[in-house]
């Protein structure tokens, strides 16, 4: 056997090893690219708002589904416009006459107030103010056993940062909104009336 034949024979012997090594290197490269893509995807994915909680207070998850609650009323304060929505328990209490009928809202009543910055519509034929960037979302929940020191209500506010598409809790504890609501203690601490429709 010549030296050339021996070299060819050795190359033939090592081809499966080379092929296996090449496949392993390619597979490792694909895995690394996949991991980088996945980690990059996690870095740019939006925050799950339902994981945010006020320190020692209410969590966003306690109001899951508020996006679909019925409208109680709308309001405007300065440069913000708001819609106030309520869960079915809250709406049923309103329709039964609470709080004007002298009955408090029942435990399980929940409200959300969604604030947007305002802007003038560029499409409506009349000067019309419409929502612009989301500003914050406030929540209230009635649970007289859980919140005996704040009129039976728990409160939370989550400020929105449009640059990062994230929510951040404002304040601490579940009574962080109670002080201003004492003005309407006679209305079971609720400012918003349920308008005729």
What pTM was estimated for this model as a whole?
Answer: 0.74
pLDDT over 90 at 7, yes or no: no
Superfamily of domain 49-187: Cytochrome P460 (3.50.70.20)
Q: State how far the Cα of 138 lies from the Cα of 104, in Å rounded to an integer.
A: 20
The residue ranges of every structural domain in the chain are 1-45, 49-187
Instruction: Decide: 132 and 118 in contact? Cβ < 8 Å.
Output: yes
In contact, 140 and 131? CB cutoff 8 Å? no
Expressed in angstroms, the distance from the first to the final Cα of the chain is: 101
Read off the pLDDT of residues 105-148 as tens digits, 9 standing for 90 and up.
999 999 999 999 999 999 998 889 999 999 999 999 999 999 99
Length of the chain: 197
Q: Would the pLDDT of 4 be above 50?
A: no
Question: Alpha-carbon distance 141 to 117, whole Å?
Answer: 25
pLDDT in tens, 140-179: 999 999 999 999 999 999 999 999 999 999 999 898 888 8
Task: Evaluate if residue 72 carries a pLDDT over 80.
Answer: yes
């Amino acid at each position: 056997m010549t030296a050339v034949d021996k070299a060819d024979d050795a190359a033939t012997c090592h081809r499966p090893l080379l092929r296996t090594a090449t496949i392993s290197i390619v597979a490792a490269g694909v895995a690394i690219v996949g991991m980088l893509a996945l980690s990059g995807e996690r870095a740019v994915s939006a925050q799950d708002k339902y994981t945010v909680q006020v320190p020692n207070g209410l969590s966003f998850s306690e109001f899951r589904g508020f996006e679909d609650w019925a409208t109680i009323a709308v309001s405007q304060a300065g440069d913000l416009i708001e819609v106030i929505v309520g869960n079915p328990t809250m709406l049923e209490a309103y329709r039964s006459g609470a709080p004007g009928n002298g009955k408090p809202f029942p435990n399980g009543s929940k409200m959300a107030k969604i604030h947007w910055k305002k802007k003038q519509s560029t499409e409506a034929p009349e000067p019309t103010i419409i929502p612009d960037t989301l500003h914050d979302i406030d929540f209230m929940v009635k649970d007289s056993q859980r919140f005996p020191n704040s009129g039976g209500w728990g409160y939370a506010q989550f400020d929105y940062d449009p640059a990062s598409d994230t929510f951040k809790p404002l304040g601490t504890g579940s009574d962080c909104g109670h002080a201003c609501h004492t003005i309407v203690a006679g209305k079971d601490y609720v400012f918003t009336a349920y308008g005729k429709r």
